[in-house]
Amino acid sequence: MIHRMRLHNKPFELIKNKSKTIEMRLFDEKRRLIKKGDIIEFENRTTLEIIKTKVIKLYKYKTFDELYKHFNKKELGYLRNETINVKDIEKYYSKEEQNKYGALAIRVELIEEAI
């Protein structure tokens, strides 16, 4: 199955250059459809560029706090000089959404350069 997700420029570029390998999302109805081996096409919200990735593994957590503890900051898309902060996810998902759905970490591998 092919899934389409939009990303801001920074995480898009980090996946494109293969340094970010974990995409974090709510484990909502849409993400419950994702399976190992599926394809995710990421669209850059700024440039509309698209890259294709393959889902290598899915990790499910009750909270993003748990998720953050299981991966290093590079995998999650943080730069060497940046500090990991679970509050960063609140820019995208409210506390209520997080409590309702839980967190999903999607390990991806770039399979096709930008379109």
Residue-level pLDDT, tens digit, the chain, 115 residues: 999 999 999 999 999 999 999 999 999 999 999 999 999 999 999 999 999 999 999 999 999 999 999 999 999 998 888 888 888 888 889 889 999 999 999 999 999 655 5
* Closest C-alpha to 36, from 109, 113, 115, 87: 109
23 and 60 in contact (C-beta within 8 Å)?
no
CATH of domain 2-112: 2.30.130.30
pLDDT at 113: 59
* Closest C-alpha to 24, from 67, 72, 84, 53: 67
pTM: 0.91
Amino acid found at 64: F
Q: What is the dihedral of CA 77, 43, 92, 2, to 10 degrees?
A: -100
Phi/psi region, residue 55 (left: phi>0; alpha: psi -120 to 50; beta: rest), is beta
CA-CA distance, 57 to 44, in Å (whole number)?
Answer: 22
